[in-house]
């Protein structure tokens, strides 16, 4: 089975091609510091070829959701070091996902400060989770050109902090409607400076950040996650083929670890001109390693590896199946996650999902 074959990632040796996708679990404390539960959570899943951490705020200004971790304070760095040390002791490989939520936040979570974005355009038709319940999205503060450039430096500092915390690399969260995605699509980016207008200008923020990350980490240690055809969080573009085609071509010039492409997770009937299969459309454009994500099973992942992908990431299955790699190898049934405990809480629904007994054998 190709899915379970070892594979190199630069000078890292991955035990298999199974990746644990980044997943927000909201188990940090009020200061964005992870604890013992998070150490256990990643160690339990360290048999994945690669673990990608939950989205981790690069700065106080990046914060959008409560109880999510950061990588900007000394306390956060020390706490993450405990995680990386434990994962490495379990022979695992762990990248940190760098996260700036942009307008996907609320002032109730941000000490009264409005969320920031490329332009002063609120997310339509959705509400945001806060500790006081769901709230309508606010019109964000439009970043000035100087503030955009300062945010690029925040990403660079976070990448340096990730090295100090012992991670093996970093992934830019450029998907699902967060700040880099907001710069890319024309529904949320209405700027008239060098970061808005043309496809080249709207891509500039992402390219600037990625160049900084590669400068910190070097070859084969930086990835990026993209969702070209997911309209969630108001991410609609008049021409995603042109936008993301241009971006991927620019990323091909960088020595990346991988490009992490998401399939469409929602019906696209309202977008008849959009590509219907993001992997088939954009995957062949990628000259770096291709990682794919979006509802894959063991069998469909195996097919994806035969069709050009080199790595496949799994999200929800990893919540309830810490031994997912072993279950794939045995052909065992997968446990279902408890959706009520996905975000926030304690041990239950986080680190109490059992692994298969040691004497489990393959099912017919």
Query: Residues 41-62: pLDDT tens digits?
Result: 999 999 999 999 999 999 999 9
Nearest-angstrom CA–CA distance, 108 and 135? 9
Nearest-angstrom CA–CA distance, 192 and 176? 24
Mean pLDDT across 331-359: 95
Q: Which residue has the tokens 């404390």?
A: 29
Nearest-angstrom CA–CA distance, 116 and 141? 5
**Strand 127-130 to 18-20 pairing:** unpaired
pTM for the structure as a whole: 0.97
Q: Please say if 178 is a catalytic residue.
A: yes
Instruction: Report residue 239's pLDDT band, with 50, 70 and 90 as the boundaries.
Output: very high
At 362 the pLDDT is 61
Q: Domain residues of the chain, as ranges?
A: 2-341
At 360 the pLDDT is 81
Nearest-angstrom CA–CA distance, 221 and 205? 20
pLDDT for residue 212 is more than 50: yes
What is the DSSP track for 254-281? S--SEEEEEPP-S--TT-TTS-S-HHHH
What is the DSSP track for 198-256? SHHHHHHHHHHHHHHHHHHH-TTSEEEEE-TT--GGG---S-HHHHHHHHHHHHTTS--
Instruction: Report residue 107's pLDDT band, with 50, 70 and 90 as the boundaries.
Output: very high
User: Is CATH 3.20.20.70 the classification given to domain 2-341?
Assistant: yes
- Angle, CA of 351, 352 and 357, to the nearest 5°: 115
13: DSSP letter: E
At 167-211, the pLDDT tens digits run 999 999 999 999 999 999 999 999 999 999 999 999 999 999 999
- Write the CA distances from 186 to 72, 285, 355, integer angstroms: 30, 22, 45
pLDDT for residue 364 is more than 50: no
At 265 the pLDDT is 87
**What's the mean per-residue pLDDT of the chain?**
96
Nearest-angstrom CA–CA distance, 295 and 108? 33
At 185 the pLDDT is 98
Burial class (CB in 10 A: 0-12, 13-18, 19+), 160: middle
pLDDT for residue 132 is more than 90: no
Count, in order, helices (H) and strands (E) of the chain: 10, 14
Catalytic residue among 72, 155, 178, 246: 178
At 2-16, the pLDDT tens digits run 999 999 999 999 999
């Amino acid at each position: 089975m190709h899915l379970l074959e070892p594979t190199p990632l630069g000078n890292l040796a991955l035990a298999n091609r199974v990746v644990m996708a980044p997943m927000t679990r909201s188990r940090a404390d009020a200061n964005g510091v992870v604890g013992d539960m998070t150490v256990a959570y990643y160690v339990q899943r360290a048999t994945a070829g690669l673990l990608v951490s939950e989205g981790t705020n690069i700065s106080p200004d990046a914060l959008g959701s409560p109880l999510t971790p950061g990588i900007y304070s000394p306390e956060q760095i020390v706490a993450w070091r405990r995680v990386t040390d434990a994962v490495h002791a379990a022979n695992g490989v762990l990248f940190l996902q760098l996260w700036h939520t942009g307008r996907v936040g609320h002032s109730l979570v941000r000490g009264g400060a409005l969320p920031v974005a490329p332009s002063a355009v609120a997310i339509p038709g959705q509400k945001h989770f806060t500790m006081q319940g769901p709230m309508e999205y606010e019109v964000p503060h439009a970043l000035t050109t100087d503030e955009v450039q300062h945010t690029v430096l925040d990403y660079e500092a976070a990448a340096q902090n990730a090295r100090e915390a012992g991670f093996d690399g970093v992934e830019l969260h450029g998907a699902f409607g967060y700040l880099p995605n907001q710069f890319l699509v024309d529904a949320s980016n209405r700027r008239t400076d060098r970061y808005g207008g043309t496809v080249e200008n709207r891509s500039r923020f992402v390219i600037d950040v990625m160049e900084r990350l590669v400068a910190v980490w070097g070859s084969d240690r930086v990835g990026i996650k993209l969702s070209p055809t997911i309209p969630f969080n108001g991410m609609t573009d008049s021409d995603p083929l042109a936008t993301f085609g241009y971006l991927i071509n620019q990323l091909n010039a960088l020595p990346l670890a991988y490009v992490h492409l998401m399939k469409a997770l929602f019906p696209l009937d309202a977008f008849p001109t959009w590509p219907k299969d993001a992997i088939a459309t954009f995957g062949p454009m990628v000259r770096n390693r291709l990682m794919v994500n979006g509802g894959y099973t063991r069998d469909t992942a195996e097919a994806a590896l035969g069709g050009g992908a080199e790595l496949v990431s799994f999200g929800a299955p990893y919540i309830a199946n810490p031994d997912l790699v072993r279950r794939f190898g045995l052909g065992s049934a997968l446990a279902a996650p408890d959706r009520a405990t996905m975000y926030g809480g304690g041990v239950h629904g986080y680190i109490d999902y059992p692994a298969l007994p040691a004497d489990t054998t393959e099912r017919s």
